[in-house]
């Protein structure tokens, strides 16, 4: 693989070698976990691990296809983010152990996606003949790109829950709901407050009734989680959009952190 060869190249920097080490370790963990899922027929987890391996390969694929060099910091953030969200978050249940894990990753996703969106438009603006986009336009496109990525990810979570029998859109207990379905005849919003217990009656494959009791409230099946994820994605997108605006409009030396998200021309080794 190209990334392995890069490790043994004498011209490779220490930073690049660290990225290669992290990449190899993460990939070995993913392959090992994938092999373990197959005998247990956990096809949903296996599919998620396959997706993880595919995502790991995207930075190198982009570099090879477009003949660019992705900055070390950006590549490292992408790899760590993928590993943290799928293998640690979903499969190792870090979302359950650490309440802020999901929030932190979605905030980082908004920031990271905005950085990628900014770099694409910034390079196009600099290298396309006849283009001279204003900094505020660059910031708006950056923000919109990040939010689009956030929405598409929520679509993926919904599809994984609906057809992959996962729970990526995390449930949570709520104590009050508003519903027009309770009073359909009058088409009025019916409010239920201080919910203490919810009883769900269902049937197993043999037709026997199963009663599931949820104490302390009503089970929300992902709406609140989705809205929270999009909100923190919004925060991350705004932060980088502002940084991108300042970088494009004012002193690029002062805001040189943004350079870590802008790929360079030239085919990598």
Highest mean pLDDT among 60-74, 118-132, 227-241: 227-241
- pTM value is 0.80
Confidence of residue 22 (pLDDT cuts 50, 70, 90): confident
The string of pLDDT tens digits covering residues 159-205 is 888 887 778 788 889 999 888 888 778 888 889 999 999 999 999 88
Give the pairing type, strands 218-220 and 209-215. Answer: unpaired
Judge contact between 138 and 125, C-beta under 8 A: yes
Task: Give the residue with greater pLDDT, 106 vs 13.
Answer: 106
Using the CB atoms, write b or e for 171-198: b if 16+ within 10 Å: eeeeeeeeeeeeeeeeeeeeeeeebeeb
- At 138 the pLDDT is 93
Q: pLDDT digit string (tens) for 45-69? A: 888 899 999 999 888 888 888 788 8
DSSP per residue over 49-105, as a string? HHHHHHHHHHHHHHHHHHTEE--HHHHHHHHHHHHIIIIIIIIS-HHHH-TTHHHHH
Task: Determine the Cα–Cα distance for residues 108 and 116; give it in Å rounded to an integer.
Answer: 12
Q: Is the pLDDT of residue 10 over 80?
A: no
**How many Å apart are CA 68 and CA 63, to the nearest integer?**
5
């Amino acid at each position: 693989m190209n990334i392995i060869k890069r490790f043994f190249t004498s011209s490779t920097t220490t930073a690049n070698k660290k990225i290669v080490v992290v990449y190899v370790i993460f990939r070995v963990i993913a392959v090992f976990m994938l092999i373990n899922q197959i005998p247990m027929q956990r096809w949903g987890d296996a599919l998620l691990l396959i997706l993880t391996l595919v995502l790991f390969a995207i930075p190198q694929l982009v570099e090879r296809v477009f003949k660019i060099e992705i900055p070390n910091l950006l590549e490292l953030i992408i790899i760590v983010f993928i590993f943290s969200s799928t293998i640690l978050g979903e499969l190792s249940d870090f979302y359950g152990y650490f309440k802020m894990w999901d929030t932190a990753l979605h905030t980082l996703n908004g920031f990271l996606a905005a950085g990628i969106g900014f770099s694409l438009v910034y390079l196009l603006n600099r290298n396309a003949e006849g283009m001279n986009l204003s900094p505020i336009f660059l910031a708006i496109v950056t923000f919109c790109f990040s939010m689009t990525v956030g929405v598409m990810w929520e679509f993926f979570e919904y599809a994984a829950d609906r057809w992959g029998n996962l729970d990526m859109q995390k449930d949570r207990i709520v104590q009050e709901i508003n519903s027009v379905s309770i009073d359909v005849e009058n088409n009025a919003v019916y409010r239920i407050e201080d919910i203490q217990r919810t009883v769900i009656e269902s049937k197993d494959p043999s037709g026997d009734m199963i009663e599931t009791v949820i104490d302390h409230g009503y089970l929300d099946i992902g709406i609140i989680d989705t809205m929270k994820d999009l909100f923190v994605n919004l925060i991350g997108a705004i932060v980088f959009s502002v940084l991108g605006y300042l970088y494009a409009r004012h002193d690029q030396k002062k805001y040189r952190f943004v350079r870590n998200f802008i790929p360079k021309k030239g085919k990598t080794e």
